[in-house]
Amino acid sequence: MKMPHILLIYTGGTIGMIRDFNSGTLRSFNFDELLKHIPELNLLDCTIETQSLAAPIDSSNMTPEIWVQLAHLIEENYNHFDGFVILHGSDTMSYSASALSFMLEGLIKPVIFTGSQLPIGDLRTDAKENLITAIQIAAMREADQMLVQEVCVYFEYKLYRGNRTTKINAEHFQAFASFNYPSLAESGVNLAFNKTALFRSLGRELRVQTKMHARIALIKLFPGMTQEVFEQMLLVPRLEGVILETFGSGNVPNRSWLNSALENTIAKGVPVVSVTQCSGGSVQLGMYETSEALVDMGVISGFDMTTETALAKMAYLLGEGKKGPEFKQAYESPLRGEITKN
């Protein structure tokens, strides 16, 4: 059998920087010279090709347009490669992994995002382990299929479902967590996979959706939020969707102005989704009196989705042209393993 062929895509972020020993500053690293800088990659049981964004970015500058570029890159190269590794800054990696998970429907090959907290040229770097293991995972086969067939994040010895991750630490090597779904694999002396947790799509044909509508308001409620601020956020012209970060299991203050503002928004055909501000657990609309009104007015439940995924899923379903009950039905269904639902 031929060695797996992996496409390594560099988008930017700390991982792609090296420290200039004279000045101490960080500068971007020429990815064409990757194998020269990390000779360990030559020891892997796979062949690697690299591609870089024309202008690599700090991931704080990530945009839906770049998600589209990445999705096209994977689509164009899908038949020539067995797996994809995307090097990405950690700051918005969870958003990008969530977005790509929706945009790449019917995926049966691995797309592994990774990055690092320290540049690849730093003595104490976490980049080498992250990069090498991410490539190894992307190259793993079982029978005649790729073992991983979904969009993941690999960071600090753990493989996660990408759309379940959140960046939790700006300093520790363990920068990500997946509070509502177990990790898919752990790297120790061996790579231990949690095989029953791996996602398998129903379709086997890759379908790439590249319309992501981002005219979305993300509103985090807080005690004392004023009527004026709340109402103004919902009055943005051409608003297409609202994600409300609510308290606990989906609760909001019992205020008539808040209910009216939401009702008016929904009446205009703008979907409103509730996700919890908690790191773990799920929205359960109607569990308390403080969320009953939301059920009556047709607020959509984000269940145990992360905020990052809630946003990406909304952008994706709006891009698919879904409206009204069809939007709600699709939104509340698990499409890529992003919701825990019995």
Residue 14 a catalytic site member: yes
DSSP string, 89-143: -STTHHHHHHHHHHHEET--S-EEEE--SS-TTSTT-SHHHHHHHHHHHHT-EET
- Strand partners for 48: 6
Q: Which of 83, 115, 302, 337 binds ligand ASP (CB under 6 A)?
A: 115
337 binds ligand ASP (CB under 6 A): no
Angle between helix axes 93-103 and 64-77 (nearest 10 degrees) is: 50
Stretch binding ligand ASP (CB under 6 A), from 58-66, 133-141, 143-151, 243-251: 58-66
Q: Which of 20, 33, 40, 58 binds ligand ASP (CB under 6 A)?
A: 58
Q: Which of 4, 13, 64, 83 binds ligand ASP (CB under 6 A)?
A: 13
91 binds ligand ASP (CB under 6 A): yes
Stretch binding ligand ASP (CB under 6 A), from 9-17, 63-71, 106-114, 183-191: 9-17
Q: Measuring CA to CA, which residue among 78, 79, 71, 150 is closest to residue 103?
A: 71
Closer to ligand ASP at the Cβ: 40 or 58? 58
Closer to ligand ASP at the Cβ: 47 or 63? 63
Residue whose tokens read 């909001």: 252
State how far the Cα of 175 lies from the Cα of 160, in Å rounded to an integer.
12
Closer to ligand ASP at the Cβ: 38 or 217? 38
Taking the CB of residue 237, how many other CB atoms lie within 10 A of it?
A: 5
260 binds ligand ASP (CB under 6 A): no
> CB 90 → ligand ASP: shortest distance, Å?
3
H or E stretch covering 218: strand 216-220
Closer to ligand ASP at the Cβ: 18 or 335? 18
90 binds ligand ASP (CB under 6 A): yes
Q: Which of 41, 46, 59, 338 binds ligand ASP (CB under 6 A)?
A: 59
Strand segments, DSSP code E, in 13-64 are 17-19, 26-28, 47-57
Taking the CB of residue 141, how many other CB atoms lie within 10 A of it?
A: 13
- Cα separations in angstroms, 236 against 88, 232, 286, 333: 31, 7, 28, 28
State how far the Cα of 221 lies from the Cα of 245, in Å rounded to an integer.
6
Closer to ligand ASP at the Cβ: 114 or 163? 114
| Active-site annotation holder among 14, 246, 307, 309 | 14
119 binds ligand ASP (CB under 6 A): no
Stretch binding ligand ASP (CB under 6 A), from 87-95, 213-221, 228-236, 277-285: 87-95
Compute the Cα dihedral for 50, 168, 336, 68 and give only its sign. Answer: negative
The residue type at 93: M
> CB 12 → ligand ASP: shortest distance, Å?
6
The set of residues, in sequence order, having a beta carbon less than 8 Å from that of 24 and lying 6+ positions away, is: none
Stretch binding ligand ASP (CB under 6 A), from 43-51, 88-96, 139-147, 224-232: 88-96
Closer to ligand ASP at the Cβ: 13 or 83? 13
Q: Number of residues in contact with ligand ASP, rule: CB under 6 A?
A: 10
14 binds ligand ASP (CB under 6 A): yes
Residue nearest to ligand ASP (CB): 89
- Strand partners for 160: 153
Stretch binding ligand ASP (CB under 6 A), from 10-18, 225-233, 260-268, 306-314: 10-18
156 binds ligand ASP (CB under 6 A): no
State how far the Cα of 282 lies from the Cα of 276, in Å rounded to an integer.
7
> Which residues belong to the active site?
14
Binding site for ligand ASP (CB under 6 A): 12-14, 58-60, 89-91, 115
